[in-house]
A and B are shown apart, each in its own frame.
Chain A
Amino acid sequence: MKKNKRSSRAKLRIKGLNQERALNSLSKDFDIFNIDRADRRFCEFEVESKNAKKVKSALAAQGFEVEIISSRGLSHWLKIALGSYGIITALILSTIFYVAQYGQIWLVKVVGTQTLDKGEIVTFIDDNFSRSKSKLDTKDMEDALKKQFFKISSVSVAVVGQSLLVNIYEKTLPPEMQGQFSPIFSDFDGRITAVELVQGTLAVKPGDIVQKGDILVQPFIVDSQGQMREVEPAAKIHANVWLRGESEHSESRMVTYRTGNKIVCDEISLFGLKIYSNAKEITFSSFDLEKSETYLTKNNILPLILQKNIYYETKTEQIDQSFEEVKEQKIDEAKQNALIYLQECDIIESEDYVISGGSGNYTVTYLVTVNRSIGVTYEGLF
């Protein structure tokens, strides 16, 4: 028994008389499979795809009507593929594209950076080196990167597939060289009371009045040879800082207050459509309105929303009160407004207040002088 090769066959249909004889004749030269005679006049069978044309010719020579109704198997598909201009073109284009892109670097991956900007390194590589593998000299790139970025201690560049892997080791700076060499700025308005310089060059001295943003210590020193060297500035600077608070009073003023009467209206809506409302007539001549919305269900399958509107009745009255009556209260109010700015380690040096204004309108300005440590880097100012 021959091996039943099912992988590559063509199915034929023949029409004619005495098909048994024809099949006997064919079977001497070709293997025939799955002979199915559905009708006396028709017969379908399979032969190996490679023999299909020969079988067709042989049967046609015997006067049969022959039709190849289907083909299957690798040879069949290869025949279709090789006969189709579209598929051949696509194959050629794909091959060309593959070969072309194989020689290119598609991704630059930078690893190991801590302070250096990866984007800056990628931009530098793009601007100065080709992305073609054949033109890329990794040794040159390593040298150029080291030259361009002084923070790089060592760098290794490797081509991995379609990617360029840039592995960077940054220099570790000594403590006195760390940081951005930003000056120390004053973060408050005040008068300098004490200065203890650790590192850098002082820009102020005790007794100086400084404003927020003024430079206190410059980020450099001048060495014994007269050379300027950048350093991270460090100092302990104390200053008297003025904390300011204000309160105002008008001897005649209009005051609006809630009387305690209120009307509550509820609405329930679904998808923006009002489905329930107990709206009432608002009889108040003036009122404050407070609105609140609450979901009645925990999920959003049925988003029922309860809207509660509360109308508070209000009244406005004129109040006449002399400044002398509330003077102490207003001074205390101004003081409290100043003390809001008090910090934990502040030492209160003095307190004072000034009353200004007239014609029924008064302003109390309260000043609290505290002694505190000042000085921040540029980032700390904001």
Chain B
Amino acid sequence: MFNFFDEIKKSSPLDGQILNDYQIINMSSRLLYVEGHQGLVVLSKEEIVFRVKGGRLSVEGDGLILNELTDKTLTIAGKIKRVEAQE
């Protein structure tokens, strides 16, 4: 079966192990899909922070809603202004 992330990893020169930590897709700054999160830290309309392997990811924007939250994935909808990786 076709897997979007696998296809990108195959063409990357980086270490495959590192690339398995987590994946993010930002669609038009309106929808952010994350695979491999390790838990929610902050949840508000302006900021959503969640843990990933090796740190945290902070998503800032307006009217943010956690559209879907499962054990390994989450989807954020809203006006996404900034995505920042924190150590």
Would you list which residues of chain B between 21 and 37 have a CB under 8 Å from chain A? 33, 35
- Binary contact readout A11-22 vs B (1 if CB under 8 angstroms, 0 otherwise): 000000001110
Q: Write the chain B residue with the least CB distance to A29.
A: B71
Q: Write the chain A residue with the least CB distance to B44.
A: A37
A32 contacts B by Cβ under 8 Å: yes
Beta-carbon contact of A27 and B45 below 8 Å: no
- A27 with B43: in contact, given A1-B33, A1-B75, A36-B65 (CB under 8 Å)? no
Would you list which residues of chain B between 43 and 72 have a CB under 8 Å from chain A? 43-45, 65-71
Most chain B CB within 10 A, of A20, A21, A33, is at A20
- Binary contact readout A31-44 vs B (1 if CB under 8 angstroms, 0 otherwise): 11111111010010
Beta-carbon contact of B45 and A20 below 8 Å: no
Beta-carbon contact of A23 and B45 below 8 Å: no
Complex Cα spacing A36 to B39, Å: 17
User: How far apart are A46's CB and chain B's nearest CB, in angstroms?
Assistant: 10
A28 contacts B by Cβ under 8 Å: yes
A79 contacts B by Cβ under 8 Å: no
A4 contacts B by Cβ under 8 Å: yes
- A20 with B43: in contact, given A1-B75, A34-B65, A36-B65 (CB under 8 Å)? yes
B residues less than 8 Å from A20 (CB atoms) = 39-43
Beta-carbon contact of B69 and A23 below 8 Å: yes
Complex Cα spacing A74 to B29, Å: 34
A298 contacts B by Cβ under 8 Å: no
Beta-carbon contact of B71 and A37 below 8 Å: no
A residues less than 8 Å from B65 (CB atoms) = 34-36
Most chain A CB within 10 A, of B42, B66, B73, is at B66
Beta-carbon contact of A34 and B67 below 8 Å: yes
Q: Which of A1, A19, A28, A34 contacts B43 (CB 8 A)?
A: A19
A24 contacts B by Cβ under 8 Å: yes
A147 contacts B by Cβ under 8 Å: no
B residues less than 8 Å from A28 (CB atoms) = 71
Beta-carbon contact of B40 and A31 below 8 Å: no
Majority DSSP secondary structure for residues of A touching B: mixed
Q: Write the chain B residue with the least CB distance to A33.
A: B68
User: How far apart are A47's CB and chain B's nearest CB, in angstroms?
Assistant: 10
Q: How many pairs of residues, A versus B, come closer than 8 Å at their CB atoms?
A: 56
Q: Write the chain B residue with the least CB distance to A24.
A: B39
Beta-carbon contact of A38 and B69 below 8 Å: no
Beta-carbon contact of B68 and A23 below 8 Å: no
Complex Cα spacing A40 to B46, Å: 12
Q: Write the chain A residue with the least CB distance to B33.
A: A1
User: How far apart are A211's CB and chain B's nearest CB, in angstroms?
Assistant: 104
B residues less than 8 Å from A31 (CB atoms) = 68-70
Complex Cα spacing A33 to B35, Å: 16
A135 contacts B by Cβ under 8 Å: no
- A33 with B67: in contact, given A1-B33, A1-B75, A2-B73 (CB under 8 Å)? yes
B residues less than 8 Å from A23 (CB atoms) = 40, 43, 66, 69
A residues less than 8 Å from B41 (CB atoms) = 20
A residues less than 8 Å from B66 (CB atoms) = 23, 32, 34-36, 45
Complex Cα spacing A35 to B50, Å: 14
Complex Cα spacing A153 to B75, Å: 80
Complex Cα spacing A20 to B68, Å: 14
- Binary contact readout A177-206 vs B (1 if CB under 8 angstroms, 0 otherwise): 000000000000000000000000000000
- Binary contact readout A122-155 vs B (1 if CB under 8 angstroms, 0 otherwise): 0000000000000000000000000000000000
Q: Write the chain B residue with the least CB distance to A37.
A: B43
Beta-carbon contact of B69 and A27 below 8 Å: yes
B residues less than 8 Å from A37 (CB atoms) = 43-45
Q: Write the chain A residue with the least CB distance to B75.
A: A1
Beta-carbon contact of A35 and B43 below 8 Å: yes
Q: Which of B35, B39, B69 contacts A35 (CB 8 A)?
A: B69
11 contacts between A and B (CB under 8 A): A23-B40, A23-B66, A23-B69, A24-B40, A28-B71, A31-B69, A35-B65, A36-B65, A38-B45, A40-B44, A45-B69
Listed in ascending order, the chain A residues whose CB lies under 8 Å from chain B are 1-2, 4, 19-21, 23-24, 27-28, 31-38, 40, 43, 45
Further pairs besides A1-B75, A2-B70, A35-B66: 14, Cβ < 8 Å: A1-B33, A1-B68, A1-B73, A20-B40, A21-B40, A23-B43, A23-B69, A27-B69, A27-B70, A33-B69, A34-B65, A34-B66, A35-B65, A37-B45
